[in-house]
Amino acid sequence: MFNGILIEKDDQGYRAAVKDIDESVLPEGDVTINVSHSTINYKDALAITGKGPVVRRFPMVPGIDLVGTVEHSESDKFKVGDQVLLNGFGVGETHCGGLAQKARLKSEWLIPLPKGFSPRQAMAIGTAGYTAMLCVIALEKNGITPDKGEILVTGANGGVGSFSIAILAKLGYNVVASTGRVEQAEYLKKLGASDVIDRKALSEPGRPLAKERWAGAIDSAGSHTLANVCASMQYGGAVAACGLAQGMDLPASVAPFILRGVTLAGIDSVMRPIADRIEAWERLADILDPEVFEDISTDIGLSEVISTAEALMAGTVRGRVVVDING
């Protein structure tokens, strides 16, 4: 038995609780891990609260991120005692995840804990920081350099937004943060934003083409926000789209793409090839300063996970939440 969050669905309804979990619940895998830290992402909050169809198999341990130590391995890639990291691959959705003391996973989903990061720091970054880095790499590959102009980051107070600002600012970009919590402007400017705008300027239906402003953008909102971001890009600009906090729809026009040559780069972090993951994590290790983790993240234990998931869905959580599994 081990302690963790378990989501169940039956005749009594949908529920999540902290409880002792029998090891028989764990699915097949060639590596068993003693989990030390995990996180709460937006997808985890959807799963825990039942407000989104995230979980595809029951019972389920949520948690799309984890870091821990190998307890048992049938793989030649990892040995007992190795520290490993996981982001995505359907973990917490179709395969039991990281919000428990133990996980059994496929070795091809794992990478070694990156040098320079403690387990806690790696989870302060988590899928949010890793996704932010993938977005920045996409902008770079599309020729968006710091001298091109302002870079917009939507959902700036969230995990992806917070790390996007910190990474871009460290690389010398002029970052403008869009948020529904403008009272958090000081926090966003401390991360590196040069300006903060209210998300209302982007979240309502807009025109097919707007005044050119942004050289690049990282969007985690989708819907009208993403449509308006594309409409206000400079000629040859690029947008990295990685989320749907406002909605899955995209009520946009082809005008920005065929009249201004705008690139819309879709960013998937869940099934990303291992080589891309390693590149992103190595870049993060090179770029991020240790103090960023203190500004962006807070720490909780397993007993606080469910209430924190509710708060995240209510939009009252800033930055990243690190879960000390044994805390």
Query: What CATH superfamily is the domain 2-113+295-324?
Result: Medium-chain alcohol dehydrogenases, catalytic domain (3.90.180.10)
Distance CA 50, CA 17 (A): 12
CA 309 – CA 40 distance, rounded (Å): 7
**Architecture in CATH for domain 127-266:** 3-Layer(aba) Sandwich (3.40)
Q: Mean pLDDT, consecutive 10-residue segments, the chain of 327 residues?
A: 97 96 96 98 95 95 98 98 97 97 98 93 95 98 98 94 96 97 93 96 96 98 98 98 95 98 97 96 92 87 97 89 95
Q: Say which DSSP state 289 is in.
A: -
Q: What span, in angstroms and rounded, lies between the C-alpha atoms of 283 and 287?
A: 6
pTM (whole model) above 0.75: yes
Which whole-number Å values give the CA distances from 266 to 116, 121, 209, 220, in the listed order? 29, 27, 21, 11
Pairing verdict, β 111-112 and 83-87: antiparallel
159 neighbors 41 (Cβ within 8 angstroms):
yes
Residue 3's SS3 state is strand
Residue 62 CB neighbours (<10 A) = 30
Tell me the one-letter amino acid at 81. Answer: G
> What DSSP line would sit under 214-243, residue for residue?
EEEEEES-BHHHHHHHHHTEEEEEEEEE--
pLDDT, position 292: 84
Give the Cα separation of 224 and 228 in Å (integer).
6
The pLDDT value recorded for residue 105 is 98
Q: At what angle do helices 274-287 and 159-170 cross, to 10 degrees?
A: 60
Residue 107: count of CB within 10 angstroms of its CB: 16
| Structural domain boundaries in the chain | 2-113+295-324, 127-266
Q: Got the DSSP string for 59-79?
A: SB---SEEEEEEEEE-SSS--
